[in-house]
Structure 1
Amino acid sequence: MTSWTPLSRRQIAARIAQDIPNGWYVNLGIGVPTLVADEVPKDREVVFHAENGILGIGPAPDEAEVDPWLINAGKQYVTLLPGGSYFHHSDSFAMIRGGHLDLCVLGAYQVAANGDIANWATSEHDTAPAVGGAMDLSVGAQRVWVAMNHVTKDGAPRLVERCGYPLTAPAAVDRVYTDLAVIDVTPQGLAVVEMVSGMTLDSLQAMTGAPLHLA
């Protein structure tokens, strides 16, 4: 019987939000990353960006507050904080490609020990039409953090020596937040910064497809 409890999706998002400094410009990917905007401490200003052309995204709206014209790149309803703005998506991608985002938080199917990320397709027969904006974000943002479960539903590791899925970008990931641990991608390999209560390095290693060491 295990002595540890994995984090929920909301808890992963909250843990990521803790580490985002005041004043950063941040893009959030689809899935768990979207929840990060709801978890930023009230005394901290983080400017959230969407690649379809928004700066200053706030928490998700209540059902009664939904504006059907205000959505993010994942087609989810969002709110706009005071001072927020809209602009053409070509200007949005100029921000991304110009290195003006401090951070991008993405979901992923796999992350390799060297920071390769695969987050858009699981095979050449996948239904996703193309890699999309994640490719630009992975190489354009100054930092890339990944939010994902540590293993698949079948128990296979998502942190691996080499990605088996089509890459989104090579050597792009700086840090990974899973439901079990916080792990940095370093020149010396995957460094464990933090583990859930009760988790041991040996137990975490057994669920990881690449060598780990303590940071």
Structure 2
Amino acid sequence: MGYGRRSKEQLAARVAQDIHDGAYVNLGIGMPTAVANHLPAGREVILHSENGILGMGPAPREGEEDYDLINAGKQPVTLLPGGAFFHHADSFAMMRGGHLDICVLGAFQVSATGDLANWSTGEPGAIPAVGGAMDLAIGAKQTWVMMDLLTRGGESKVVAHCSYPLTGIGCVKRIYTDLATFACMPSGLRLIDAVAGLERVELERLIGLPVQAA
């Protein structure tokens, strides 16, 4: 294999690179929370959390955590000057009202045309965890997914049709993975970039789907 993989921090930095100045952004539970630590210096991005925070900063330094100030994943966060906290009903009104520019979510599967499955595998005994994902996926102006391209078993999480219960239909605009970045279009996947040494033909073999050139 003549290519490497983006680490979780490198992937977070790749996502952060594309967030425009002045954007209102929700970072989903799990891997997306790391994006807060990689926003480019001098770029103002207003981070939102559905449990009722606007204006989050990066993770606090060790020993400076305040567990009264947490994100939706119960991780301690910081609050930037001008930041605010409020009732989660108001937070969901922001999400449902179309006031967020971007949400970044994790996923179990994403279809080539942007269908999202990220709240349940549908397996017996699995704990459903939809949270605010449905509201975010449909309410945000752009929904981006951040995930590993392959499962531990080597199967692609980018698929022709999701086999897991759907969170939203045709809502995902971009998929950021450890191997490549894609745009989801009505015609299918378009390659934005890939790690050095990974050719499009190999990417198509891994996914099992055609990928339009960048």
Q: Paired residue for 2:18? A: 19
Question: 2-side partners of 1:68 and 1:105: how far apart?
Answer: 23
Q: Is the 8 A contact 1:10 1:32 kept in 2?
A: no
Distance 1:128 1:165 in 2: 13
**Structure 1 residue runs of 4+, over 2 Å off?**
124-130
CA-based RMSD of the aligned residues comes to 1.0
| 1:164 paired residue number | 163
Cα-to-partner distance string for 1:76-113 (whole Å, 9 max, x where unaligned): 11110010000110100000000000000001011001
SS in 1 for 2:103: strand
Identity level (%): 56
SS in 1 for 2:94: helix
Q: 1:19 to 1:126 in 2, by over 3 A?
A: farther
| 1:39-188 correspondence runs (5 A) | 39-188=38-187
Structure 2 length-normalised TM: 0.97
What is the CA deviation profile of residues 35-84 of structure 1, one whole-angstrom value per residue up to 9, with x for unaligned ones? 00000011111000000000000000112110010001111111100100
Q: TM-score, normalised by structure 1?
A: 0.97
Structure 2 segments unaligned to the other structure (5+ residues): none
Cα distance in 2, alignment partners of residues 84 and 10 from structure 1: 25
Given residue 118 of structure 2, which amino acid in structure 1 is its aligned partner?
A: N
Mind listing any 5+ residue stretches in structure 1 that lack a counterpart?
none
Q: CA deviation at 1:126?
A: 4.6
